[in-house]
Every structure is written in structure tokens, then in C-alpha cells.
Amino acid sequence: MHIVVPMKQTVDLVEELELNDDGTDVEREYLKFISNEWDEQALEEALLIKEASPGTTVTVVGLDEVDVDQTLFAALAKGADRAIKLGGDFEEGISSHQRASILAQVIEGLSADLILIGVQSPEDLDGQTGVLLAGTLDLPHVSVAIGVEPHEGGVKVSQEFGAGVVHEIAVDGPAVIGVQAARQAPRYVAISRIRQAMQAGGLEEQEAPEAAAAGSGLTIRRLFAPEAASQAEMLGGDADDVAARLAQIIADRGLVKA
């Protein structure tokens, strides 16, 4: 089985998000970018399948976004067989529709049996890339997966619903699965192993194909910070002061243990 895992670099949400001059995007130039955490879950699930099913190969694909080399080499260090970097000008960010269009063209040439991708990213204003990709390629898809295992020539997907209910669905490949969480937490890889992978090279570079001209169909008027309906009363002082205030607040509400 050949599994392809598209990986995206996304804004680190811990950062303070400032808007660009016309207020239609975040100011990307000074932001820190990290590997989309859901794509890391998809990679882990792919590696788990590879370990359990001899003959499985895993290919990761990423657009040439800030620090993508780190993400792709880390994937190789963790056990991915191939890493492909798609060259192009993506500094301004691209829509999910454009990303899906580029990935669809690349994946068509990769003879994938299965595409595992993070179910979402923090920048999915025009939808999640995985399902857009599936729709573009007319492939079956299942989103919000918390387990993907080989099953009767295809895969069995555990699809998560609210309140802990799970549906199990058998899917014939090739298919696109949007991974919410791998069956285990993404494995850790030491920086030294990532450096080794970098020294060994092995990043395949090719130019990204042109995205379909249609784009997302959305026109962004503005981005803005939401005004909270209410705001917490912030408690000052050191930890002991805060703890004393909180203990009093809890006591005043009659919530202390009888």
C-alpha cells in the first residue's frame, strides 16, 4: 500500500496575530510557522499502518512554505520513505481550494492507495483541504477519523461523532481520510535524527503545478479580532495572592467540600 500524507505549514497560534495593512490577512512576514498538528496526526497514523503492514510505503508532500524542510525531514526521520517539496511562491498564503488543486495534480501522478491528511488546519476559511481534494479527484472520503487500519483490500476507518460515538466504515481505496487523531500520540523524533536526515538529503524537489484559476470563490472583506461578549475578571498578584482570591470566590459560592 502506498500512503500519501500532504503536510501544511500553519501559523503558530501561540503567537500574537497582527493584521496586514488592508486587514484581509494576518501579517505573515514575522509570524512563526509550524507543521499543522492534524497533519502530524495523519503522518503518525500512516506510520502505524506501515509498521503493521509490510510493503507499505509512506510519501509526504509539502508546499514550499516557511520551515517546511524541517517538517519534511522530521517525517523522513520518523520513518516516511519519500518526501516531496513543491516549489512555488506561497509566502502570501493560499486558499484551501488552491492547495487542493495543486495537491490533486501531484497526487494523480503518485499512484496513491490512500491519502491521509489532517482533518483541518487553523486556516481553513474556505473549507478543509482533504475533502476538497477528494471532491476534486472524485475519491471517497471519510473525515474526523480516529483510527485507520487495513481491511479487506481497503481500510476500516473509525469516524468520530460527538459524545464519544464512533462509526466504523469500510472504504475501498484510493480514498482520502481526514485524520483527527492517530491511534497513538505522534512519535517524538530527536533533533539529532532530523539533522541526520537533512545531511542524508533525500528531499525531492519539484515545481508545484498551477492551481486552478477559479480559486475559493470567496472575497475577504476583513479579518478582525472578535469582541468577547464577556471578559474574565483577571486576578493580579503572585500565585499565592491569586490562590487566596480563588479560594474565597469558591467559598463564597458555597462550593467548598462539606
Partner 1 sequence: MGNDILVLVEHHAGAVHDSAAELLGKARELAAATGGEALAVLLHDGSAASLASGLPADRVLSVEHEAFAHFLPEAYVLAMAGLMADRDPRLTLVANTTVGMDLAGSLSARTSAPLAAYCIGLEVEGDVVVATNQVFGGKLHAEVEMPGGIASVVAGAFPPAEGAGGATVESVGAPDGLGNLRMRFLARVEPETSDVDITAQDILISVGRGIGGDENIELAEDLAGALGGVVSASRPVADAGWLPKTRQVGKSGRKVKPKLYIACGISGAPEHLEGMRDADLIIAINTDENAPIFDVAHFGTTEDLFDVVPALTEALEAAASAA
| Contacts to partner 1 from residues 126-145, by CB under 8 A | 126-136, 138, 140-144
Residue 108: helix, strand or coil by DSSP?
Answer: helix
Of 111 and 221, the one with the shorter C-beta distance to partner 1 is 221
Instruction: Give the contact letters, 149-168, x = binds to partner 1 (CB under 8 A), - = no.
Output: -------x-xxxxxxxxxxx
Q: Considering only residues 93, 122, 150, 209, which one is a binding residue for partner 1 as defined by CB under 8 A?
A: 122
The answer to whether 1 and 56 have CB atoms below 8 angstroms apart is: yes
- Cα(26)–Cα(19) distance, integer angstroms: 4
Question: Binding segment for partner 1 among 12-20, 55-63, 70-78, 188-196 (CB under 8 A)?
Answer: 12-20
Q: Cβ of residue 241: shortest distance to partner 1, in angstroms?
A: 9
Q: Cβ of residue 102: shortest distance to partner 1, in angstroms?
A: 13
The answer to whether 39 and 117 have CB atoms below 8 angstroms apart is: yes
Name 243's Cβ contacts closer than 8 Å, sequence gap at least 6.
Answer: none
User: Judged by CB under 8 A, does residue 32 bind partner 1?
Assistant: no
Q: C-alpha grid cell for residue 25?
A: 490577512
Of 29 and 207, the one with the shorter C-beta distance to partner 1 is 29
Amino acid letter at 54?
P
Instruction: Give the contact letters, 46-85, x = binds to partner 1 (CB under 8 A), - = no.
Output: ----------------------------------------
- Cα(258)–Cα(255) distance, integer angstroms: 8
- Cα(247)–Cα(250) distance, integer angstroms: 5
User: Which stretch of DSSP H or E encloses residue 99?
Assistant: helix 96-108
Cell 482520502 found at: 176
Question: Binding segment for partner 1 among 60-68, 72-80, 94-102, 191-199 (CB under 8 A)?
Answer: 94-102
Cell 488546519 found at: 121
- What backbone phi and psi angles, to 5 degrees, belong to 166? -125, 135
Of 61 and 123, the one with the shorter C-beta distance to partner 1 is 123
Residues 233-252 that bind partner 1 (CB under 8 A): 233-235, 238-240, 242-247, 249-251
Of 37 and 69, the one with the shorter C-beta distance to partner 1 is 37
Instruction: Give the contact letters, 171-210, x = binds to partner 1 (CB under 8 A), - = no.
Output: xx--x--x-xx--xx-------------------------
Amino acid letter at 100?
A
The answer to whether 34 and 70 have CB atoms below 8 angstroms apart is: no
Q: C-alpha grid cell for residue 87?
A: 516549489
Of 31 and 84, the one with the shorter C-beta distance to partner 1 is 31
Q: Cβ of residue 252: shortest distance to partner 1, in angstroms?
A: 10
Residues 208-237 that bind partner 1 (CB under 8 A): 214, 216-226, 228-235
Q: DSSP E strands: which ranges in 124-189?
A: 141-151, 154-160, 166-171, 175-179
Q: Cβ of residue 12: shortest distance to partner 1, in angstroms?
A: 10
